[in-house]
Chain A
Amino acid sequence: MNPLIQFTLFLADSNLILSQKNAEWCGHGPILEQDIAITNITLDLLGQARYFYQYAAELMNQAGHTHITEDSLAYLRTEREFKNLLLCEQPNGDWAQTVLRQFFYSVYQQSLYQQILQQSNSQLSAIAEKSLKEITYHIKWSSEWVVRLGDGTPLSHHKMLQAIKALWPYTGEFFTPTDFEKEIIPIDYEKLKMQWIDSVQNVLEEAGLPMPQNIFMHTGGKLGSHTEHLGYILAEMQYLQRTYPNAQW
């Protein structure tokens, strides 16, 4: 498959899967205002995913596929075809794990999309530009929660430590480019990594939380090798489309 299509699907899938996970909080948040906030982020991520899927569908139809739509891409691909980051499919855990997952992802997204913005692909850079406005808010919201919980009570501090332990091993994948990433647009992965580490370090420091060192990193999401969580996420998400093939909704 054309590397641009693969890259676009990688961006779409990561947003959709994280949106799908965050959506589980809707109606179950720790306080009403935060229920609304996480649901807002869920909607933003879903909107971003849809733009990328629509663009990928356009590219695929141009390349000779037929009848590819945003929905066929989201609902009719299998576990091995999804290219989302492993981080995005990790369980919600508690509020600490959810806000930290969002924080790690949003900071990465910001640096990556800033680089995409500089590229010549006008469609991708237009989506990146629109998304960056939303991402700025996501970072503000999630980093404030990381600080609040890290520097809140001993219990919340402990829960943040656990969240870091659970999620950190899935952040290395951000900076390990696959072949399709290398082939499309020149992204400076060293810069991406430095920016991410810098931002994350600042926030963890303010939160009184340690920056993990020398942790083994899992990879594979971008190439379709996922954790066991993804199969269940897709089974749930795709169930109606799979049960009633070709129906319109």
Chain B
Amino acid sequence: MAIHDLENAFQQKIDNEIKIEPKDWMPDAYRKTNTRQISQHAHSEIVGMLPEGNWITRAPSLKRKAILIAKVQDEAGHGLYLYSAAETLGSSREQMIDELHSGKAKYSSIFNYPTLTWADMGAIGWLVDGAAILNQVMLCRTSYGPYARANVRICKEESFHQRQGFESLLVLSKGTKEQKEMCQDAINRWWWPSLMMFGPKDSESTNSDQSIKWKIKRKTNDELRRQFVNMIAEQVKLLGMTLPDPDLKYNNQTGQYDFGEINWDEFWNVVKGNGPCNEQRLQARRKAHEEGAWVREAAVAYAEKKQSRQPNEKTDAA
């Protein structure tokens, strides 16, 4: 079959909502885009363990500690199945991790912000996981089968995290004066970075059109962002807190919330590596990997020894 025919057949499958599976023919650019996106998602889960992991030893009650540990552990699990999904496209986990450590591969910029108080754990669950879920719900229907299925599992756990985050803020919002202040401060700091999670404006997003045609994405960055604002602007009322945007206002005509302009300079700065924690996050990942090298080597050496001993034992027995 000529390339042209293969491409047509491929697009037809997508148009007919048939999932693309690992052994199916696919255009190189489709493979590349999916590999980039899935590995980026995997890296985000793994790097995302760090800002929350930062509070495990200081969680204020045993119950909160257990919830937080379980949550961070879930993220490790998500990373694991996402790396596996990406591997079906032909890159090894080792290769992807090297690209993360060298700075070639990206991860979600949100994790380059610091977690300064306990309230940040709630704000991350509510806002950051809330934003991530909108994206991941869409991705449950993405055209690449293994990635879609990974997202189905991820969404189940993420929606739980979001509820837990909100509930934890709710407790703070009903607490002492200091707790209320802590809660509002965390919302103030995480609100704009959460809006940035949806990526550049549609007019400036380079990957959007082709991704929509291939049904890698089904909604644009701006559509998802608006959906998020509409959702959070209502939920924040239940907390009795405010969002730090003087331009946020319900628009009777559109039935949606209007909101202020994102600081795109900050957005691009963090993407380029100048966020408050970019350096620390990568350093922590590299350190874990380097310090773990002797452990992984020992595990391999032991497995090899064990395997080479087995046939001998059999021979001896014979």
Contacts and interface: CB of A to CB of B under 8 A. Distances in A.
A71 B62 contact: yes
A55 to B, nearest CB: 14
A239 B172 CA distance: 17
B62 A152 contact: no
A139 to B, nearest CB: 18
B301 A152 contact: yes
Interface range on chain A: under 10, 10 to 19, 20 to 34, or 35 or more? 35 or more
25 contacts: A16-B62, A23-B57, A26-B49, A26-B56, A26-B73, A27-B50, A27-B76, A27-B284, A30-B291, A39-B72, A43-B73, A46-B62, A71-B62, A75-B60, A94-B291, A147-B302, A148-B302, A149-B295, A152-B298, A155-B297, A240-B59, A244-B176, A244-B178, A244-B179, A249-B64
A153 B62 contact: no
A30 B296 contact: yes
B175 interface: yes
Q: What is the predominant secondary structure among interface residues of chain A facing chain B?
A: helix
A207 to B, nearest CB: 10
Interface in A10-30: 16, 20, 23-24, 26-30
A94 B284 CA distance: 15
B166 interface: no
A42 interface: yes
Interface of B: 46, 49-50, 53, 56-66, 69-70, 72-73, 76-77, 79-80, 83, 118, 168, 171-172, 175-176, 178-179, 284, 287-288, 291-299, 301-302, 305
A29 B288 contact: yes
Contact of A236 (B57, B64, B168): B57
A20 B292 CA distance: 21
Contact of B76 (A32, A237, A244): A32
Given A236-B57, A237-B57, A151 B76 contact: no
